[in-house]
Amino acid sequence: MIKLTFCLTRLPHLSVDEFQDYWWNKHAPLVKSHRAALRIKRYVQMHSLPVELSDGLREGRGSGLENAPAIYDGVAQLWWESAGDLLAVLETEEGLNASRALYEDESSFIDFRKSPLWLGEEKVVFE
């Protein structure tokens, strides 16, 4: 399985609650509506909790607060069956249009400059 991990930072004019509400109630249904065209097998949103809940965990692992990575407002994870499936999306007009629609919507709530993403091959240790 190929997995996209997208660490999301909200645009500065949005509160965390506004960001997460829009992401869940507006963007998620949009992604779902384009699922077939984009060949997405699974889509998960992880909404951040108050940063104070993570402080002890980070300190306990030796990262310390001064060295802590940016705290994200959420993480999106999307799965494809294979790299070929993902690349095939770019070969259809329907896939390109769906990709464009998601990007346009994302630009209304995600600060792309502060939101890294990457693709990787998922290696399951146990289920």
Q: How do residues 103-123 score in pLDDT, each as one tens digit? A: 999 999 999 999 999 999 989
Arithmetic mean of pLDDT, 67-81: 83
Give the pLDDT band of residue 50 (cuts 50, 70, 90).
confident
Predicted local confidence at residue 66, as pLDDT: 59
Residue 8 falls inside a structural domain: yes
Distances (CA, A) of 37 to 40, 60, 62, 91, 107: 8, 44, 43, 11, 20
Residue 127 falls inside a structural domain: no
- Output the domain CATH number for residue 81: 3.30.70.100
**What is the domain count for the chain?**
1
Residue 99 falls inside a structural domain: yes
Q: What percent of the chain has pLDDT over 90?
A: 77
Residue 6 falls inside a structural domain: yes
Residue 125 falls inside a structural domain: no
Quote the pTM value. Answer: 0.85
The residue count for the chain? 127
- For residue 80, what are the domain limits? 2-60+71-120
